[in-house]
Amino acid sequence: MPLASAASAAASDAGLAAGSATGPVAAQMHKISAMLTEKFGLAREKAQRISSAVMASAEKYSLPPALVLAIISIESRFKETARGAHGATGLMQVVPAAHRQLVKNMDLTEASDNIEAGSAILHGYLQSARGDVGAALKSYGGSSAYARKVSLRAKDFDVTPAASATDRAQ
């Protein structure tokens, strides 16, 4: 199965398809969509598509959604057709030449494909760095300054529910 289909299947299996998620995941997706619409001026449908893809990939690769959103914000300002140096393409500025096998049969200008590929790449860097997020981000973006910038920006996207007073007391 091509990765694009696998990403869609993963989103559906996790109950993350647009409009079908429930509970805390749905609340988090709604908060992300609203933030993307308000802060970045995205159309509601596009914001929902991106938030759904982010949540599906974050779940699949055990990544904080805020980290994925911070990378997208820095790399493309949420422009799906963004182009950069060395052929970097899409929301997460995936470089096809560097990841030929991974991106085979993917449309990197499509949000779900691009976020799937970018998240898979970041996950691989995290594994290589033995969980060191700073080192993984340095590999993804090429510098320590990039890693610091993403880490700072991720705080702007943290929409996880705060622990309740009861949770903190336990």
Sorting pLDDT into bands at 50, 70 and 90, what band is 158?
Answer: confident
Which one-letter amino acid corresponds to residue 112? S
DSSP 155: G
- Residue-wise DSSP of 60-122: HHT--HHHHHHHHHHHHTT-TT-B-GGG-BTTTTB-GGG-HHHHTT--TTSHHHHHHHHHHHH
Sorting pLDDT into bands at 50, 70 and 90, what band is 67?
Answer: very high
3-154 has which CATH code?
1.10.530.10
Sorting pLDDT into bands at 50, 70 and 90, what band is 26?
Answer: confident
Residue 110 has pLDDT above 90, yes or no: yes
Sorting pLDDT into bands at 50, 70 and 90, what band is 27?
Answer: confident
Q: What is the mean pLDDT of residues 156-169?
A: 58
CA distance 100 to 153: 29
Return the biggest CA–CA distance within the chain: 51
Query: Coil, strand, or helix at residue 41?
Result: coil
Q: Is this model's pTM higher than 0.85 or not?
A: no
Residues 6+ away with beta carbon under 8 Å from 20: 12
Ranges 1-10, 39-48, 72-81, 146-155: which has the least confidence: 1-10
Residue 14 has pLDDT above 90, yes or no: no
Q: What is the mean pLDDT of residues 115-125?
A: 97
Per domain, the residue ranges of the chain are 3-154
- Can you read off the two tokens belonging to residue 96? 């096809």
